[in-house]
Amino acid sequence: MSVATTDADRAAAAEERFRAVYEENFAFLSSIAVNKFRVPDTEAETLAHEVFLTYLRKSETITDLRSWLIGAICHASRHYWRANRRIVDADPEIDTEYPDPASRQILDVLTDQIAARSVLECLAPRHQEILRLRYFAGMTVPEIAAHLGVKPKYAQKLVSKCLKRAEKVFNEKGIAR
């Protein structure tokens, strides 16, 4: 009878250890997936749960828990983008062949690439990235959406917002010749 109590005690202790590890690290792992790898929030939570399931199976072999958890969420996030890059298609309702109306003004004025770089240097890093992807890397709006982990319509709004901000900086700084 004492063996059953000992096994039950061990199971309860293991469950309590897992609960403590889960509660301490779940938000942290999800934030790594969202902030570092730009995985959507709901998908990041799913990836964190998968990491904890793997932890349950391999908990006896893990020596440095925090490092293992961070490595596992990084690996899971990279795998997520490798797997989902192939299935993300362009939304047929969005017409990306025509330039943004807001971009005509700034693109007509910013013919000199040095002026464009000067404007980009004054923008926030996220705005710089979005404009570089769209106009220097030649990515379409759906490709930018997939890269950022957002919907194509929101990516279109981001591009327009970044262009308006660049135009404002351009006019404020007097970068034109």
What one-character-per-residue DSSP string does 38-99 give?
---HHHHHHHHHHHHHHHHHHGGG-SSHHHHHHHHHHHHHHHHHHHHHTT----TT---SSP
State the DSSP code for 177: -
pLDDT of residue 1: 47
On whether both 38 and 106 belong to a single domain, the answer is no
* Residue 95 or 25, more confident: 25
CATH (domain of 26): 1.10.1740
On whether both 77 and 133 belong to a single domain, the answer is no
Last residue of a domain, one of 85, 119, 151: 85
Residue 67 belongs to a domain? yes
pTM value? Answer: 0.47
State pLDDT tens for residues 114-171: 666 777 778 888 888 888 888 778 889 999 999 889 999 999 998 899 888 888 887 8
Cβ neighbours around 138 below 10 Å, total: 8
Is 66 a residue whose pLDDT tops 70?
yes
Last residue of a domain, one of 58, 85, 112: 85
On whether both 77 and 105 belong to a single domain, the answer is no
100-120 mean pLDDT:
59
pLDDT of residue 97: 55
On whether both 81 and 106 belong to a single domain, the answer is no
pLDDT of residue 151: 92
Residue 138 belongs to a domain? yes
Residue 54 belongs to a domain? yes
Range of the domain at 75: 2-85
Tell me the CA distances in angstroms from 91 to 23, 88, 148, one per residue in order: 38, 9, 15
With bands split at pLDDT 50, 70 and 90, how would you rate the model's confidence at 106? low
Measured over the CA atoms of residue 7, residue 12, residue 16 and residue 21, the dihedral's sign is positive
Residue 109 belongs to a domain? yes
pLDDT of residue 124: 85
Q: How far is the C-alpha of 93 from the C-alpha of 90, rounded, in Å?
A: 9
Among the residue ranges 5-9, 41-45, 66-70, 169-173, the one predicted with the least confidence is 169-173
Last residue of a domain, one of 28, 54, 85: 85
On whether both 119 and 52 belong to a single domain, the answer is no
Number of domains in the chain: 2
Tell me the CA distances in angstroms from 171 to 36, 165, 176, 177, one per residue in order: 33, 10, 8, 11
On whether both 80 and 130 belong to a single domain, the answer is no
Question: 102 and 160 in contact (C-beta within 8 Å)?
Answer: yes
102-106 mean pLDDT:
56
- Mean pLDDT over each residue of the chain, to the nearest integer: 80
CATH (domain of 164): 1.10.10.10
On whether both 114 and 71 belong to a single domain, the answer is no
Question: 121 and 173 in contact (C-beta within 8 Å)?
Answer: no
Could you tell me if residue 108 is left (phi over 0), alpha (psi between -120 and 50 degrees) or otherwise beta? alpha
